[in-house]
């Protein structure tokens, strides 16, 4: 029997129409939460995401659209969600990437990546966290990256945004640490920092490295340079960590960054 410990809680997961975000939304739904889905996609893709979340066990699920580069659209979205149900759990998962050398990085790409990966999290946090403080329970889970802990070439704005969200999470964690109680669950702010994760986005990279071998050969070739485990995580692995961080027992875990990286950052 599943543990419905998030019944009567509401979660907003940005970038949750696919990939890691959708897996997290489904994980929280299985624990009983109402889910505010946010993300891009065709009407059919959005409907599929909502269906998956409902089938996972969500008490209710709705899609809320916003261009996360635009603070005004974020404010409108947050007001609409608050009208529906106050946000107890905020997962900032939406992110974009563009990999070219620093000198070749288009200025607009820098602006867009910083806006979506970092500034959008600031705006959702500043709007959601005061209500969490009033209720004595809140969870902010920012999906950073292994690149919030170590750098790689050709990823200047991505790395800058992920280092930034780790720092932002530490500050917010400190500011809200004493609010709430052990009984109410408190307010915590943490980062999850995935390494390689199996999503549709990286499937072409896996196939390109098979060199006539199996898909597993392609995975090992892709991760071998960075990830000592030689295997990727699944989106559901990230979801399991996010769901655990929402438990009342995690009330004293805040300002932390959890690498799920097969030993990448241990080197």
Residue 119 falls inside a structural domain: yes
DSSP states of 43-54: HHHHHHHHHHHH
Residue 121 falls inside a structural domain: yes
- Regarding whether 222 and 114 lie in a shared domain, the answer is no
- Regarding whether 113 and 180 lie in a shared domain, the answer is yes
- Classify residue 2 by burial, with Cβ atoms within 10 Å: 0-12, 13-18, 19+: exposed
- Regarding whether 71 and 16 lie in a shared domain, the answer is yes
Q: Report the pLDDT averaged over residues 57-84.
A: 98
CATH label of the domain that carries residue 28: 3.40.50.720
Residue 149 falls inside a structural domain: yes
- Regarding whether 211 and 126 lie in a shared domain, the answer is no
Higher-pLDDT residue of 44 and 210 is: 44
**Looking at residue 2, what is its pLDDT?**
66
- Which residues share a beta bridge with 62? 36
- Regarding whether 139 and 22 lie in a shared domain, the answer is yes
pLDDT band at 203 (very low <50, low <70, confident <90, very high): confident
pLDDT in tens, 2-45: 689 999 999 999 999 999 999 999 999 999 999 999 999 999 99
Residue 77 falls inside a structural domain: yes
- Regarding whether 220 and 93 lie in a shared domain, the answer is no
- Regarding whether 95 and 24 lie in a shared domain, the answer is yes
Residue 267 falls inside a structural domain: no
Q: Report the pLDDT averaged over residues 166-179.
A: 98
Q: Per the structure block, which two tokens stand in for 15?
A: 């970038």
- Regarding whether 209 and 135 lie in a shared domain, the answer is no
Residue 266 falls inside a structural domain: no
pLDDT band at 211 (very low <50, low <70, confident <90, very high): confident
Q: Report the pLDDT averaged over residues 138-150.
A: 98
- Regarding whether 48 and 165 lie in a shared domain, the answer is yes
User: How many structural domains comprise the chain?
Assistant: 2
Task: Determine what percent of the chain falls in helix, strand and coil, rounding each to the nearest 5.
Answer: 50, 15, 35
Residue 18 falls inside a structural domain: yes
Residue 265 falls inside a structural domain: no
Contact 246, 191 (CB under 8 A): no
- Regarding whether 250 and 218 lie in a shared domain, the answer is no
pLDDT in tens, 88-138: 999 999 999 999 999 999 999 999 999 999 999 999 999 999 999 999 999
pLDDT in tens, 217-255: 998 888 988 999 999 999 999 999 999 999 999 999 999
Q: Reply yes or no on whether 176 is catalytic.
A: no
Domain that residue 219 falls in? 201-232
- Regarding whether 78 and 29 lie in a shared domain, the answer is yes
Q: Which of 158, 163, 176, 258 is labelled catalytic?
A: 158
The beta strand positions in the chain, using DSSP E, are 10-13, 34-37, 61-63, 89-92, 137-143, 186-194, 257-260
pLDDT band at 201 (very low <50, low <70, confident <90, very high): confident
């Amino acid at each position: 029997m599943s543990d419905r410990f998030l019944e009567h809680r509401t979660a907003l997961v940005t970038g949750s129409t696919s990939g890691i975000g959708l897996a997290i939304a489904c994980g929280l739904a299985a624990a009983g939460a109402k889910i505010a889905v946010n993300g891009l996609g065709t009407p059919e893709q959005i409907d599929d995401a909502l269906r998956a979340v409902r089938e996972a066990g969500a008490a209710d699920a709705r899609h809320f659209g916003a261009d996360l580069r635009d603070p005004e659209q974020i404010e409108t979205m947050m007001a609409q969600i608050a009208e529906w149900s106050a946000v107890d759990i905020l997962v900032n998962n939406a992110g974009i990437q563009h990999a070219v050398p620093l000198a070749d990085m288009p200025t607009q790409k820098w602006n867009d990546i910083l806006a979506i990966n970092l500034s959008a999290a600031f705006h959702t946090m500043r709007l959601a966290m005061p209500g969490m403080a009033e209720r004595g329970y809140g969870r902010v889970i920012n999906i950073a990256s292994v690149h919030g802990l170590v750098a790689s070439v050709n990823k200047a704005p991505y790395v800058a945004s992920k280092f930034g969200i780790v720092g932002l999470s530490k500050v917010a964690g400190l500011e809200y640490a004493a609010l709430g109680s052990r009984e109410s669950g408190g307010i915590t702010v943490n980062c999850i920092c995935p390494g390689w994760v199996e999503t549709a986005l990286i499937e072409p990279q896996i196939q390109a490295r098979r060199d006539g071998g199996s898909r597993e050969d392609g995975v090992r070739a892709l991760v071998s340079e960075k990830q000592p485990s030689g295997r990727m995580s699944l989106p559901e692995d990230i979801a399991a960590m996010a769901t655990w961080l929402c438990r009342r027992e995690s009330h004293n875990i805040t300002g932390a960054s959890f690498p799920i990286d097969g030993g990448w950052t241990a080197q």
